[in-house]
Amino acid sequence: MFEEIIVAGAGGQGVLVLGEVLAIAAVKAGNKATWLPAYGPEMRGGTANCSVVLSSKEIGSPLVQEPSLLVCFNQPSITKFGPATAKGGKIFANADTIEEYPQMKEGVEIIKIKVNSLAAALGDERALNMVMLGAVLKKSAFVTLESCALALRDIWGAKAEELLPTSLKAMRSGQEAVAGQA
Amino acid sequence: MGDFKFIKGNEAAAEAAIRAGCEGFFFYPVTPSSEIGEYMANHLHRTGGVFAQAESEIAAVNMMFGGAATGARVMTGTSGVGYSLMSECISYMAGAEVPAVIVDVMRAGPGLGSLEPTQGDYNQVTKASGHGGHIIPVYAPSNAQEIVNFVHESFGTAERFRTPVVVLYDGYTGQVMESVEFPEGRQEKKPNTWSLDDAPGRKGRVVRSGYAGGIGQHSFELYAKYDDMKEKLQRFEEYQTEDAEIILVGFGIVGRICKSVVDKARDEGLKVGLIRPIMISPFPAKAFAKYKGTKVKFLTIEMSYGQMCHDVALAVGENDNTHFFRDKCGSLPAMSEILNRLRQLKGENS
C-alpha cells in the first residue's frame, strides 16, 4: 500500500482529526503512517490542511505535493489542491459548499457528498468530518471502520464513550451516501 | 515488546527525555519548539523532575547551567533565534565541561525569519555555538523514532564527554506525527568526581570556565577530548552506496526524502546511493574518505543556502565531483527536482 492524502478545509471542520484518524487506523493495521499539519503563519479562522502518508514500507517525505487522494471540505481547498491531484486519483468533495470544479488531471475521479446536510440530519453538524470519513472508507480499501473506531478511542481517551456512537453513525451515513456512486 | 505511541516529533523528544532520566527542564517558548515545553510542563512531574518556564532564553540556559553544575540531568529546547541568545552560556558550559542537552528545532531565515522549516542552523550549531572554539556533539534525527533514540542517548553522551550536546531537527520533523517505540530504562548515570554538592567530608569543588592564570593545560585537555569525540562519534547511514556512481548527501528530514529518491532513481536504472550523516558534529568524514580520488559524484541536498556541502567537499577533497542542490527556503525539496538534478549529473557523466 502507498497512499498520499491531503485533507483540506476551513479551521474547525475537523480536517486535522480526520487525517489523524486515517493515519492511526493505518498504523493499527500494521502499516507505517505520517501526519503533517499545514505549517506556517496561518491558524485561527483560516484554511486548515494536513498531509497524510500511509505505506507498507518506510516513508520518505511526509509532505504530500501530488495527492493520490484528496478530501475537500470547502471551495478554496479544491481550487488549491484539485489541480495537483495525481492522475487516476480520487477527490472527495463536500457538495454542500463546493460549486466550482477546477481543471483536473486525467482520470481523476470526483466523489461528491453533502456532508453538512448529512451531519445535520443526524442531529450533530460537527460530525461532518466523520460523514466524510465514512465516504472515504467506502471508496478506498486501505482502512476499516473498526480500525478507525480504535483510532478515535486513542485520540479521545475518556471522552470516547460519549462521542463514539455519534461518530459511528456519521461514518455509516457517509458510507451509505456514496455507495451508489460509480 | 516496547511501548508504542503515535506522536509528534517534539512530543517524542520530551517523552524520551523524561524516560532517559531528565531531572530539570528550563524553557522559553518559541515556535516551532513550543510543544516540547508544553509536554514537559504536563509530564515531567511524573518522575519528580523540575520544569521552569524562564523569563527569557538567556535565563533558561543559565538555569540549565546551574542545574548541570550540581550534576542534575538537564535539558532545554529552543529554535535558532533562541539558540543565538543561548550561545554565550553554551560556550561557558563547554568551557566548564558540564553535561546538558539542547534541542534546536530550526525555523527559516535570519533574524525573526518565519515559522517554516529549514536547515539554516547547521553552521551555527556545528561550528559556532558561542565563542572560544569548542566542539560539541550534534545529533541530526530524520524522523520521530530517531528523535526518541537520540534524545535518550544524548544524555549519556553529554555525561560521558562532559559537554553540552545538541539534537538538531527542522520544524517539519518536530510537527510530523509518526509511530515511535520508546526504549526501556533510563540512560545509566555513573557517579562523578566534579559536580557540586554539599561536599560531605571532603574538600569543596569548583565548576568554572575561567582560567585567568593561564589556559594551556585546560586547552590541551579539551583538545584531547575533541580528538576522542572525533574518533568515537562519527555516525552515518549508508544506503545503496556499493556500486553508486552518484551519492546523495542529506541530513535530517532531507536524508529520509533522499532515501526515497534513491529508490526511484534505481527504478529508472540510475546508480544512486545515499550517505546520511546521523551526527553532524563531529562531521562523519570517515564515510567519505574512501571516495577520495574516485570518479564518484556527490550531490549534497540542503534546505539552506548551502552549509554542510562545504564539509562534504572537505571530506571528499573538493573537485569537480562535488555538487550542491537547494530548493526554495521554507519548503521541503521536491523528489522530482532532486531526480531531475540526478539525471542531469548522469548525463554529464557519459
SS3 A14: coil
Which chain B positions have a beta carbon within 8 Å of A59's beta carbon? 178, 256, 260
Residue carrying the nine cell digits 553535561: B99
Q: Do A60 and B176 touch (CB under 8 A)?
A: no
Q: Which of B216, B232, B248 is the last residue of a domain?
A: B232
Q: Which of A32, A34, A61 sits opposite B332 (nearest CB)?
A: A61
The answer to whether ipTM exceeds 0.85 is yes
Q: Which of B114, B260, B331 sits opposite A60 (nearest CB)?
A: B260
The CA distance from B325 to the nearest CA of chain A, in Å, is 17
Looking at the domain A2-179, which fold is it? Pyruvate-ferredoxin Oxidoreductase; domain 3 (3.40.920)
Q: Do B335 and A154 touch (CB under 8 A)?
A: no
Which chain B positions have a beta carbon within 8 Å of A27's beta carbon? 6, 179
| Tens digits of residue pLDDT in B201-257 | 999 999 999 998 899 999 999 999 999 999 999 999 999 999 999 999 999 999 999
Q: Which of A24, A35, A41 sits opposite B176 (nearest CB)?
A: A35
Same domain, B220 and B337: no
Q: Do A34 and B335 touch (CB under 8 A)?
A: no
Same domain, B240 and B296: yes
Residue B144 burial (10 A CB sphere; 0-12, 13-18, 19+): buried
The CA distance from A179 to the nearest CA of chain B, in Å, is 31
Domain that holds residue B243: 236-349
Average pLDDT over residues B138-165: 98
pLDDT surpasses 90 at B324: no
Q: Do B256 and A60 touch (CB under 8 A)?
A: yes
Same domain, B120 and B224: yes
- The pLDDT-based confidence of B125 (bands split at 50, 70, 90) is very high
- The pLDDT-based confidence of B1 (bands split at 50, 70, 90) is very low
The CA distance from B177 to the nearest CA of chain A, in Å, is 5
Whether residue B13 contacts residue B86, with contact meaning beta carbons closer than 8 Å, is answered with no
| Tens digits of residue pLDDT in A100-158 | 999 999 999 999 999 999 999 999 999 999 999 999 999 988 899 999 999 999 999 99
Where on the phi/psi map is residue A123: left (φ > 0), alpha (ψ -120 to 50), or beta? left
CATH code for position B251: 3.40.50.920
Q: Per the structure block, which three cell numbers stand in for B22?
A: 531528565
Residues 6+ away with beta carbon under 8 Å from B67 = B23, B24, B26, B50, B74
Q: How far is CA B68 from CA B74, B76, B91, B153, in A?
A: 6, 11, 14, 17
Among B1-10, B84-93, B112-121, B337-346, the least confident range: B1-10
Res B170: pLDDT: 95
| Tens digits of residue pLDDT in A22-79 | 999 999 999 999 999 986 665 566 788 999 999 999 999 999 999 999 999 999 999 9
Q: Do B175 and A32 touch (CB under 8 A)?
A: no
Which chain A positions have a beta carbon within 8 Å of B258's beta carbon? 60
Same domain, B191 and B266: no
Res B325: pLDDT: 82
Same domain, B55 and B109: yes
Q: Do B256 and A23 touch (CB under 8 A)?
A: no
What are the residues of chain A with a beta carbon less than 8 Å away from any beta carbon of chain B? 20, 23-24, 27, 32-37, 39-41, 58-63, 65, 154
Taking the C-alpha atoms of residue A161 and residue B175, their distance in angstroms, rounded to an integer, is 28
Whether residue B303 contacts residue B333, with contact meaning beta carbons closer than 8 Å, is answered with yes
Please report the number of interchain residue pairs, chain A to chain B, with beta-carbon separation below 8 angstroms.
63
Q: Name the average pLDDT for chain B.
A: 94
Q: Do A40 and B117 touch (CB under 8 A)?
A: no
- The pLDDT-based confidence of B300 (bands split at 50, 70, 90) is very high
Same domain, B175 and B305: no
Torsion angle, alpha carbons of A169, A172, A173, A177, to 10: 180
State which residue of chain A sits closest to B258, comparing Cα positions: A60
pLDDT surpasses 70 at B2: no
Same domain, B70 and B159: yes
Q: Which of B174, B200, B232 is the last residue of a domain?
A: B232
Q: Which of B180, B208, B232 is the last residue of a domain?
A: B232
Alpha-carbon torsion (B95, B133, B77, B158), positive or negative: negative
Taking the C-alpha atoms of residue A52 and residue A61, their distance in angstroms, rounded to an integer, is 10
Q: What angle (nearest 5°) sits at the alpha carbon of residue A13, between those of residues B115 and A68?
A: 75
Count up the domains in chain B and report the number: 2
Best mutation site among A36, A66, A153, A156 for testing chain B: the one with the most B CBs within 10 Å? A36
| Tens digits of residue pLDDT in B45-91 | 999 999 999 999 999 999 999 999 999 999 999 999 999 999 999 99
CA B121 to mean position of chain CA atoms: 10
SS3 B189: coil
Query: What are the sequence ranges of the domains in chain A?
Result: 2-179
The CA distance from B297 to the nearest CA of chain A, in Å, is 22
Q: Do B177 and A36 touch (CB under 8 A)?
A: yes
Same domain, B137 and B110: yes
State which residue of chain B sits closest to A26, comparing Cα positions: B179
Residues 6+ away with beta carbon under 8 Å from B219 = none
Q: Do A33 and B32 touch (CB under 8 A)?
A: no
**DSSP labels, A112-160:** EE-HHHHHHHTT-GGGHHHHHHHHHHHH-SSS-HHHHHHHHHHHHGGGH
Residue carrying the nine cell digits 529546547: B77
